[in-house]
């Protein structure tokens, strides 16, 4: 594991965007695993900047997102589909039909999960997976549990996650209590993983995840078993 500490969020965003840009330049038809949350916003801004400068071409890139809230469709301004369109897809030349986010509105989220895993396999797996980390150690929406779940699957959100994500909604009561998330199989099979976190509040969970025991009680700790993980932490 390569653990990089930088001072500012700006540096974190630039480093991360450069890794993603290098991935796309080296393999223009890359499959990117993408993440939401506040951490990657600066990275998506940088990628947009590189695109606007003519340095980066997304026309043959495919993306698969990690997760989605149950019950929110893409027109809801807190859905992850909406987030991705706004922060990246609508700003660069990626083909919309090559961007995938699991549907939180499917009638059967278990079936949706199976179809999503089949899709990822059909695409040849993920070349580079970008991850954030929740304060409870979740990646995607894989919450602390007694076991790791391999497949894309529906989950009940941890009360601490609902609380943490309430900042994006009008009130805590508006935060969906369920979601669908990629499981550990697709994440761990990604050829390269970049996990980003900023601010002192994330320091303790990063230490637990990357220097503590590997346990489903700290879901991100499974990443210690992956051969190509870069963690970028910014102190501010
Ligand atoms: C959400 C997402 C995660 C993300 C996490 C951390 O719960 N499902 O994928 O990593 O939030 O978010 P933030 O980057 O805002 O701290």
Half-sphere exposure of 166 (CA within 13 A, CB side): 11
Out of 11, 127, 138, 158, pick the active-site residue: 138
Compute the distance from residue 139 Cα to the ligand 1 centre, in Å: 7
Q: How far is CA 55 from CA 12, 108, 161, in A?
A: 19, 41, 37
Burial 29-67 (b: 16+ CB within 10 A, else e): ebbbbbbbbebbbbbbbbbbebbeeeebebeebbbbbbb
For the whole model, what pTM was predicted? 0.98
Q: What is the pLDDT of residues 126-184, one digit of tens each?
A: 999 999 999 999 999 999 999 999 999 999 999 999 999 999 999 999 999 999 999 99
Does ligand 1 come within 6 angstroms of the Cβ of 137? no
Instruction: Report the alpha-carbon distance of residue 145 to residue 170 in Å, rounded.
Output: 28
Half-sphere exposure of 204 (CA within 13 A, CB side): 3
Measured from the Cα of 131, ligand 1's closest atom is 10
Contact 120, 151 (CB under 8 A): no
Average pLDDT over residues 14-41: 98
pLDDT (0 to 100) of residue 107:
96
| Mean residue pLDDT across the chain | 97
In the residue annotation, 67 being an active-site residue is answered as yes
Q: What is the pLDDT of residues 74-94, one digit of tens each?
A: 999 999 999 999 999 999 999
Closest residue by CA, ligand 1 atom 12: 37
Measured from the Cα of 38, ligand 1's closest atom is 15
Q: What is the pLDDT of residues 97-134, one digit of tens each?
A: 999 999 999 999 999 999 999 999 999 999 999 999 99
- What whole-number percentage of the chain has pLDDT above 70? 100
Instruction: Report the alpha-carbon distance of residue 128 to residue 233 in Å, rounded.
Output: 18
pLDDT (0 to 100) of residue 8:
98
In the residue annotation, 138 being an active-site residue is answered as yes
Instruction: Give, in degrees to the nearest 5, the angle at Cα 39 between 165 and 28.
Output: 125
Secondary structure class of 100 (helix, strand, coil): strand
Instruction: Report the alpha-carbon distance of residue 213 to residue 30 in Å, rounded.
Output: 32
């Amino acid at each position: 594991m390569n653990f990089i500490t930088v001072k500012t969020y700006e540096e974190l965003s630039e480093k991360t965007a450069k890794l993603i840009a290098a991935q796309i330049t080296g393999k223009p038809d890359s499959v990117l695993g993408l993440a939401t949350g506040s951490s990657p916003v600066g990275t998506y801004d940088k990628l947009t900047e590189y695109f606007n400068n003519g340095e980066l071409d997304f026309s043959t890139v495919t993306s698969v997102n990690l997760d989605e809230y149950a019950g929110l469709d893409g027109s809801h301004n807190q859905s992850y589909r909406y987030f991705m369109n706004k922060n990246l897809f609508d700003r660069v030349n990626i083909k919309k039909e090559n961007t995938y986010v699991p549907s939180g509105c499917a009638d059967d989220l278990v079936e949706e999960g199976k179809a999503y895993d089949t899709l990822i396999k059909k695409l040849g797996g993920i070349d580079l997976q970008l991850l954030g980390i929740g304060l409870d150690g979740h990646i995607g929406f894989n919450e602390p549990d007694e076991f790791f779940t391999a497949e894309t699957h529906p989950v009940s959100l941890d009360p601490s996650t609902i609380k943490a994500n309430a900042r994006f909604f009008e009130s805590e009561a508006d935060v969906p209590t369920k979601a669908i998330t990629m499981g550990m199989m697709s994440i761990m099979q990604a050829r390269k993983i970049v996990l980003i976190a900023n601010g002192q509040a994330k320091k303790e969970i990063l230490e637990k995840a990357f220097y503590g025991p590997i346990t489903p009680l700290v879901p991100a700790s499974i990443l210690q078993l992956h051969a190509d993980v870069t963690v970028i932490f910014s102190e501010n």
